[in-house]
Amino acid sequence: MAEGSQQAVIDSDLDRIPLPEYEEEDSYLPSKDDASLDFYEACADGDVDELASYIEEEHPDPRDLQYGLEHAAFAGNLATIRYLLERGVRLHRNAFHRKLSVTETTGGPKSQTIFHQAVPRVIQILELYLEFGWHPNQHWTDAASGTRDVFILECGSVLMEKALVEWLLDHGADPTTHTPIPIVDLAAMCHQVEVLDLLLSRGACVTEARPLQRLAILMGGRVGGGTVPPGPDPFGRFKTAEWCLDHGFDIHAVANVKDRCGIPIGMAEVPATALGLACAMLDFEYAEWLFDHGADPDTAKEIGPKLFGVFSNKANDQYIEFVRNLCTKRDSKQLDESSADDMSQQQ
């Protein structure tokens, strides 16, 4: 830490951010008496005087203070974050990423990060954390699953914001860090070409990246009655695919797609081209785009049943007919090109 910085409340040499103590002990629940509830509210509201009074009068359990830090972090209140950290409150996972209650998750995400806040405020929070010993390369335990590690550059809400990614890289975040889904692929899935440019300029690893596969969407986004918004490229997906081709990603590359978000649980582990995967996921709009850019429809002929085991009859018929039509278009195009070559030679 730099000279004159605050006393660390997390060891920057650690490779991970610790859990809050109130989650390390299953039997402990943060205090919920009236005074404690007022304290948590004050943490969120930024009432430093209320915090000071509560701590002086109640001598709270350190775990309750850590719970207060969680409230302060998710409210983005810099004054109370600093006040608690200055008093040695442990900087913990829930000051970055917390699990939501059952009532909060109905039909929605199971966890939440602080990165949903405006980027300038997020950067101010992270600058505070830096003062107290945090480093951007420290992983944390995923709040939703409670098992896998999370690296800050894996977070979609981070990758959606170029300014935040740039700040993290400038402060030591390592874009070569190995993650279950490569960081380049994750940025492609967010359709952020400027972030992709930034990551590559800072040395992000592309050896295992297969962003063209990651752009396939189950049923083209038409899941659960939802539809892709109207327009030629509503999510910037094809712009991202163009970026991939311009940067040398092979449209014919075969990759294992077991970690592809959106593929039904229990699918077989089957290598596939981007076109094969798009066809198998009934993402025909993207499949057409790939075909128009040179993808070989032969790679899609049998991939669907291998990926999903048994299609419904309707889906299977759609898949078979679509791939057959692509092959017919390919053959017709090749025949036209051959005829044109013959005529050119005769002349």
pLDDT digits (tens, 9 = 90+) for 259-293: 554 454 445 567 889 998 888 888 899 999 999 99
Q: Is residue 159 part of a domain?
A: no
Task: Please state the rounded mean pLDDT for residues 134-162.
Answer: 93
Which pLDDT belongs to residue 4?
42
- Measured at the CA of 183, the angle between CA 178 and CA 188, to 5 degrees, comes to 155
311 exposed, middle or buried (CB, 10 Å; 0-12, 13-18, 19+)?
A: middle
* Alpha carbon distance 16, 67 (integer Å): 19
Could you say which of 53, 85, 102 is where a domain stops?
Answer: 102
What band does 64 get if pLDDT is binned at 50, 70 and 90?
very high
Give the residue numbers spanning the domain of 90.
Answer: 1-102
pTM for this prediction: 0.86
pLDDT band at 314 (very low <50, low <70, confident <90, very high): confident
How many contiguous H segments (helices) and E segments (strands) does the chain have? Answer: 17, 6
Q: What pLDDT does residue 223 have?
A: 40
**In terms of C-beta density within 10 A (0-12 exposed, 13-18 middle, 19 or more buried), how is residue 292 classed?**
exposed
Query: In terms of Cα–Cα distance, which of 240, 234, 207, 208 is closest to 220?
Result: 234
Write out the two tokens for 243.
């970026």
* Bridge partners for 271 per DSSP: 256
Contacts of residue 2, Cβ cutoff 8 Å, sequence gap at least 6: none
Q: For residue 187, is pLDDT > 90?
A: yes
Q: Which of 200, 201, 228 is nearest to 215 (CA)?
A: 228
pLDDT band per the 50, 70, 90 thresholds, residue 7: low
Position 311 scores a pLDDT of 57
Q: Among 76, 102, 128, which residue terminates a domain?
A: 102
pLDDT for 221 beyond 90: no
The 10s digit of each residue's pLDDT in 76-114 is 999 999 999 999 999 999 999 999 876 555 566 789 999
Question: Cα separation of 44 and 75, whole Å?
Answer: 5
Alpha helices in 150-256 (DSSP H): 156-159, 162-170, 183-189, 193-201, 211-214, 237-246
Q: What is the mean pLDDT of residues 226-246?
A: 78
Query: Does 96 lie in the same domain as 224?
Result: no
Q: What is the pLDDT of residue 30?
A: 86
Read off the pLDDT of residues 316-342 as tens digits, 9 standing for 90 and up.
788 889 999 999 999 998 776 666 565
Any domain includes 135: no
The total of structural domains in the chain comes to 2
CB 87 within 8 A of CB 71: no
In a domain, 318, yes or no: yes
Give pLDDT, residue 347. 60
Looking at the structure, do residues 217 and 98 belong to the same domain, yes or no?
A: no
pLDDT recorded at residue 132: 95
pLDDT band (50, 70, 90) for residue 194: very high
Q: How far apart are CA 231 and CA 212, in angstroms?
A: 21
What one-letter code names the amino acid at 236?
A: G
Considering the domain boundaries, does residue 323 fall inside one? yes
Residue 125 lies in a domain: no
In a domain, 6, yes or no: yes
Domain end residue (candidates: 54, 83, 102): 102
Q: Is residue 166 part of a domain?
A: no
Residue 167 lies in a domain: no
